[in-house]
Amino acid sequence: MRPHFQCALLVLAMLLAAEAKAQVFRVQGGTSTMLNAQGGSVEFKAPKYDGSVSLGYFEGHVRYGASNRYQFHSFSLLTGDETIPFVLPTDVFDASHYFSMRGVGVSHEDSTKRYYALGGMTSTWLGTGLFNAATSDDPAGALFFERKLNSHFRFFSRNIVSRRQTFLQGVEYRPNR
């Protein structure tokens, strides 16, 4: 091809790419003798959704995992494996508490309220670095809700129904800085 024609094609591609909706794929995989694991995953991202699909062999068993988040207006529709943060206002020094579930759900957040609802199964996460997988455990449902009452007070509710139940409600107070 002639250099002028190549430059014209490159400029045209750049102009069209500015208006194109992108979708990105990331493929990874491999083998780990240290973890006795092999497998891989495909991650995908686009303007209104993202997710991943993983498959591998770990501890003598075939393991799998998947997750997807789809933005629908002001809601996020969730499917697959979710790591749910379980943060309370009293967790001042360590806010890294969470639990894993596999199922379907919805989340929403605006200036005054936030909620997260998920139904499915509790799960045990099996991370290998090569792929993300989980095992399904017990049927469960989770409903987390927060509402800003005013500039100082916020109501929170953390509810999990499974083989063991958790129902935590409270009001958080935040003074002016």
Whether pLDDT at 19 is above 90: no
pLDDT at 105: 95
In this predicted structure, what is the pLDDT of residue 169? 94
Q: What pLDDT score does 25 carry?
A: 85
pTM > 0.85: yes or no: no
Would you say 140 and 132 are in contact if contact means Cβ atoms under 8 Å apart?
Answer: no
Residue 12 pLDDT exceeds 70: no
The DSSP secondary structure of 16-45, one letter per residue, reads HHHHSPP-EEEEEEEEETTTTEEEEEEEEE
Q: Where are the domains of the chain?
A: 68-173
Distance of alpha carbon 34 from the chain centroid: 27
